[in-house]
Amino acid sequence: MDITRKLIFPTWRPLMRATRLYCDSAVHSLVNFPVVTMEKGKSKYVMSHVYIHGMMGSAKQVIRSSPRAKSHLHVYDKLQKEANGLGLCTQGLGGGYLVYDPQNKYIKLYGRSGVLGKADHEKAKEILRKTYPGCKIDAEPGDIEP
C-alpha cells in the first residue's frame, strides 16, 4: 500500500488528464470543429470560444455569420446548438457585421452587437487571415469598448 501511495497517486491525475486529451471524443470534436463559417454578402457575425466543459484552457476561438439572422443572438444560438450537439460548450465574445465578397476576395469587419457587445475585430481579422489567406481583410479600428 505504501508503494501504491508513493507511485500511483501522484501520477494518477496527470495520467488521466493526458488520457482524456488524446482519447476523448470531445477532444476529437473540438479539433475538428470548423473555425470559420460564413456566406457571401453582408451578415451579422459572432466570435465565440468553443471548449470542452471544465477545460477552458483548451478553448478555440471561432467565427460564425449568417446573412439571414434577425439578430446576433440567432447566430450565437445556432453556434451553441452546433457545439452542444458535439458535447462542447460556448462562450460569446462579441459580435459585429461582416461583408464577404468572394469574387473580389475582400472581407470587411465593422460595428458591434447590441446584446453581445463589440467583438475584437483585430483578433477576428487574424482568424480570418488564417482561413482565407488570399483575401484582403479590413477591420474597423478601435479597441474593445468596456
Is 136 known to sit in a ligand binding site?
A: no
Question: Can you tell me which residue has the cell 501520477?
Answer: 11
Is 72 assigned a catalytic role? yes
Tell me the pLDDT tens digit for each residue of 71-85. 999 999 999 999 999
- What phi, psi does 81 have (nearest 5°)? -65, -40
Q: Which fold has domain 26-139?
A: Pyruvoyl-Dependent Histidine Decarboxylase; Chain B (3.50.20)
- Catalytic pick from 28, 49, 53, 72? 72
Q: Is the CA virtual torsion 92, 93, 96, 99 positive or negative?
A: negative
Using alpha carbons, select from 105, 110, 109 the residue that is nearest to residue 133.
105
Per-domain boundaries in the chain: 26-139
- Global confidence as pTM: 0.78
pLDDT at 2 over 70: no
Using alpha carbons, select from 116, 124, 66 the residue that is nearest to residue 91.
116
Confidence category of residue 146, pLDDT binned at 50, 70, 90: very low
